[in-house]
Amino acid sequence: MATITESQRRGALTHPDIERHEEVNRDILNMLSRPGKGWWALLGLCVLGIGVFFTSWGWQIYRGIGVSGLTSPVGWGAYITTFVFWVGIAHSGTLISAILFLFRAPWRQSVYRAAEAMTVFGVMTAGLFPLIHVGRVWHAYWLIPYPNQRFLWPNFRSPLVWDVFAVTTYFTVSAVFFYLGTIPDVAAARDASTGLRKKLYSVVAMGWRGTDREWHHFGKAYIFLAGLATPLVLSVHSVVSWDFAMGIVPGWHATIFAPYFVAGAIFSGVAMVITLAVPLRKVFKLEAYLTIKHFDALSKLILLTSLIVLYAYLTEFFMAWYSGEPPEKQMFWNRLFGDYWWATWTMLVCNGFVPIMLWFKRVRHSIPALFVVSIFINIGMWFERYVIIVTSLSHEYEPFAWGMYRPSIVEMGILVGSFAWFGFWFLIFTRMLPPVAIAELKEVVAPRMRKNETKSVEA
């Protein structure tokens, strides 16, 4: 009756070195042991960066938004750029955990927990930026849809209000999805640990025992959550793109923005997964779990999305030319050869040309090469948002309203600090929760069968 399933057969191909379920528990739970010096050093660096972050922000709160480079005509600068960047980073986590789950991609199991953690921490980081950007942060609660003193409600026709709905929903749902997925693994960690850790894990696991009843409902709930998260992830970056596309600013007002932003988000997010997975694999010796095949699959995803992104860039230029609209035409000419030419070319080289290397199998199969490519993409995707936001605002219709924007040292401090904030949570995560999904990995490792072991091994 019990037979080896298709996914287990394919799993045996992706994880040839794992034979028994106990090995998965042992190897993954080992990662939660006492951290080494390198981990503490990185954590220290992140704490330092968080210090820079809050010092910069504190200074801005004390002195006012004038300490940033934001002024007329460029009212959106590095903060909104970084907000979009981090929301984008978050997207690939949900792609891997929800969309590839629905598509039954057999390679997602090893990377999905780390990618999902990246989603939660990415949205957590992104969520700070609207608060920083509004300047008077003590009024940030105005974002919540409630009537003000004059009983005036927010304007539900505004994409900025949509964004509040989209981002808060995204954060809530991805955090819930992440937590739910960890419950069986935390239960495994609870059963393998002692002392204070056992108590902590017992609380988090909520008494999960892995009974048939629990798994039965869990499986169904997980599919529904994946089904809800899939359209959600596509909607979130679409709504973010409408923050721009709904405005009649040259360079923003385009119908391709939603798919273009979603592809870009997945592109940057998958690159970030590689950036994080490479050191994770090295430090925790996860070669049996994160094989070259996984990196190959991830780089193919990057290749696909980079083509979509490059196509969107070219379409934008084509549409500007074909529209015959002088401000639009000048906008795109200005992007390539104007004041911000360096940002545009950084974007085009990093996102359009560097990923071309991934056509070569040798690059896809070389971990150091992939790491370097992923760093280029991370940089390129930050610049993409910078180009979209800053070049458009600095050069709208009327020449008297043109101006230049340069991020101030405070904005730079907050940008750098945001990486530290993200890194801090990610480092804590790698030591507190199983960074690779134990239960899901076992689904692709063939279970022990008496009939296989007695009748010698078949197939």
Structure tokens at 186: 């935390």
User: Out of 62, 138, 141, 151, which residue is the one contacting other proteins (CB under 8 A)?
Assistant: 151
CB 311 to other proteins: min, Å: 26
Nearer to other proteins (CB atom), residue 20 or residue 282: 20
Only segment of 201-209, 259-267, 275-283, 399-407 that touches other proteins (CB under 8 A): 201-209
User: Out of 39, 54, 218, 341, which residue is the one contacting other proteins (CB under 8 A)?
Assistant: 218
Per-residue mark of binding to other proteins, 161-190 (x: CB under 8 A) = xx--xx--x--xx--xx--x---x--xx-x
Rounded to an integer, what distance in angstroms lies between the CA atom of residue 437 and that of residue 440? 6
The amino acid that residue 23 corresponds to is E
Only segment of 122-130, 208-216, 281-289, 295-303 that touches other proteins (CB under 8 A): 208-216
Structure tokens at 369: 């090469």
What count of other Cβ atoms lies within 10 Å of the Cβ of residue 134? 15
**For residue 95, what is the DSSP state?**
I
Does position 211 bind other proteins by CB under 8 A? yes
CB 122 to other proteins: min, Å: 18
Does position 6 bind other proteins by CB under 8 A? no
CB 214 to other proteins: min, Å: 4
> Per DSSP, what are the bridge partners of residue 71?
74
CB 334 to other proteins: min, Å: 28
Please count the CA atoms within 13 angstroms of the CA of 100 that sit on its side-chain side.
23
Does position 97 bind other proteins by CB under 8 A? no
Interacting residues with other proteins between 399 and 458 (CB under 8 A): 438-440, 442-443, 447-451, 453
Does position 259 bind other proteins by CB under 8 A? no
Does position 37 bind other proteins by CB under 8 A? no
Rounded to an integer, what distance in angstroms lies between the CA atom of residue 83 and that of residue 126? 5
Does position 247 bind other proteins by CB under 8 A? no
Nearer to other proteins (CB atom), residue 74 or residue 183: 183
User: Out of 9, 20, 136, 406, which residue is the one contacting other proteins (CB under 8 A)?
Assistant: 20
CA 99 to chain centre: 14
Does position 104 bind other proteins by CB under 8 A? no
Rounded to an integer, what distance in angstroms lies between the CA atom of residue 414 and that of residue 405? 17
Pick from 76, 171, 177: which is nearest to 132 by CA?
76
> Per DSSP, what are the bridge partners of residue 165?
none
Nearer to other proteins (CB atom), residue 63 or residue 448: 448
CB 433 to other proteins: min, Å: 15
Rounded to an integer, what distance in angstroms lies between the CA atom of residue 354 and that of residue 357? 6
The dihedrals phi and psi of 74, each to the nearest 5 degrees, come to -95, 95
266 burial level (CB within 10 Å; 0-12, 13-18, 19+): buried
CB 154 to other proteins: min, Å: 7
Q: How many residues bind other proteins (CB under 8 A)?
A: 67
Structure tokens at 359: 């056509």
Only segment of 146-154, 335-343, 366-374, 412-420 that touches other proteins (CB under 8 A): 146-154
- 133 with 83: CB under 8 angstroms? yes
Rounded to an integer, what distance in angstroms lies between the CA atom of residue 305 and that of residue 263? 6
Nearer to other proteins (CB atom), residue 209 or residue 406: 209
Contacts of 373 (CB under 8 A, 6+ apart): 271, 274, 299, 302, 354, 355, 357, 358, 363
Rounded to an integer, what distance in angstroms lies between the CA atom of residue 429 and that of residue 168? 22
Tell me the chain's radius of gyration from C-alpha atoms: 24
Does position 191 bind other proteins by CB under 8 A? yes
Structure tokens at 271: 């690159």
Where on the chain is the footprint of other proteins (CB under 8 A)? Answer: 1-2, 5, 20-22, 25, 145, 147, 151-157, 161-162, 165-166, 169, 172-173, 176-177, 180, 184, 187-188, 190-192, 206-221, 224-225, 228-229, 231-232, 235, 239, 438-440, 442-443, 447-451, 453
